[in-house]
Amino acid sequence: MTENRINILKIIIQSTTIGYLIGYRHGKNVFTFDKDYLQDENRLTFSMRYVSEKTIAPLASYHRLPQVFSNLLPEGALRDMMTQTLKSSSEFVAFASVGHKLPGGIIATPIMLDELPNYAYGSNKNITPAQDKSLNTRDLKFSSLAGVQLKFSAKKGADNRYNINLSEFDDWIIKTPSTRYDFVPFNEYTAMSLAKLAGVDVPEIRLVKLSDLTGLPSAIALPNEQYAYAIKRFDRLKNDIGVTRIHTEDFAQVFGQYAQDKYLKANYEKIGYVLAESVDDKLTNIKEMANRLLINILIGNGDAHLKNWSLIYHDGIHASLSPAYDIVSTKVYMENEKNQAFKLGKEKHWYSLSMAHFQQWAMKISPEQGEKVWQEVKQSLLATMDIVRDTWPDALYDLPMDERQKDSLKAHMASLHDDFKVDLSPTFKLSPS
């Protein structure tokens, strides 16, 4: 018999064993669901993709982890930093190194070979598994999060300083300034503030002086800017017994796509259809999504791809749309950008999109109750536009976005379809004395 050396991670959510992730030395990775988990009538939700199946074949991949796990790892510069620190490009090694600090509710814990159930070995009778003791995850000096932009998990201290470390229960996400684009923290803080003003569900956000951050990796390059952007984590909940992990998943995980395909093989109708079919309080979630789509059009956010929409499982089982994140005006950096990430009613062009396209979207995602859904969405969108036209001009004047970027945003919003056009000239309305 052939010996095949493996490393094993037990995948846990809220102390429930979901399954076993095996990494083979030759690059194959296999995840096998725990049998007891699959047979549990009231089981926790691991992914909307597998929410109802009683039998699920092992998830196998080569040189990458299965999509549901791969999407929990960072992209771009952060992935490069992990690779250099770990001295390995293996996703399995990277995943193991941050197994207790992953986004959402998943914990990945190394186990020994004798703890692995026989059924998780697979069906190849010619292979005798043996423990691979070569796994070396090293000591990461930062807690990395999924995404391209440099961002770190941090713990806010009593002194109002933010410590970037490997705490399992960090409660903030810190995004440092970009060396490629000017004043991104100001941009995102402004865009998210405007979204919140328009009624979008937004976590607590702050601008934080770089001097108030401790533990930033020394290797990262920073521009001559003073502020980072901070957003409160919605996947961690403080309570009387400490901190609870809240399980989440982005729509790349829901649709089984790797991060590299986050702009492909999907549209806003597919995301909306999941909300219409599979979440609690469907109408509330649909209206929330519609309002976020509208905000993205208004501020010129062309980056609302699959990984920037997520589900959250507050009780571990039932899904709803997570609070908003990563809303930023990409238009102010890309003068010739004219399209959003996906089609809405068969249209991507910002300056062609109108209420009619939202109507097509609403009718498509809920065929049986399309007209009812559309009327609810329409009233929500009209109310949002009233708020935007009434509050955004003065709010934008006071928000910290760079003045040149404000001018670009004003020009963008003045060029939208009449349904969504907004004059952002400040009115300087006086508050009643």
Q: Using H for helix, E for strand and C for coil, what is the string for 27-93?
A: CEEEEEECHHHHHCCCCCCCCHHHCCCCCCCCEEEECCCCHHHHCCCECHHHHHHHHHHHCCCCHHH
Q: Does residue 210 contact residue 228 with C-beta atoms inside 8 Å?
A: yes
Is 303 catalytic? The answer is: yes
| Alpha carbon distance 419, 359 (integer Å) | 13
Cβ burial, residue 328 (10 Å; 0-12/13-18/19+): buried
- Give the Cα separation of 173 and 236 in Å (integer): 11
Please classify residue 336 by burial: count the beta carbons closer than 10 Å to its beta carbon, then call 0-12 exposed, 13-18 middle and 19+ buried.
Answer: exposed
CA angle, 165 then 166 then 169, to 5° = 105
User: Regarding beta strands 127-131 and 2-13, do their DSSP bridges make them parallel or antiparallel, or are they unpaired?
Assistant: parallel
Of 303, 315, 386, 418, which one is the catalytic site residue? 303
How many Cβ atoms are within 10 Å of 223's Cβ, its own excluded? 13
Tokens 């995980």 — which residue?
A: 253
Distance (Å, whole) CA 404 – CA 193: 18
Q: Could you tell me the two tokens for 241?
A: 């017994």
Amino acid letter, residue 126: N
Tell me if 52 sits within 8 A of 38, measured CB to CB.
Answer: no
Would you say 362 and 373 are in contact if contact means Cβ atoms under 8 Å apart? yes
Are the C-beta atoms of residues 161 and 38 closer than 8 Å to each other?
no
Would you give the DSSP letter of residue 176? P
> What single-letter DSSP state applies at residue 317?
S
- Across 410-428, b (16+ Cβ under 10 Å) vs e yields bebbeebbebbebebeeee
d(CA 376, CA 433) in angstroms, rounded, equals 36
What separation in angstroms does the CA of 87 have from each of 132, 135, 141, 325, 334?
A: 17, 11, 14, 31, 35
Catalytic center residues: 303
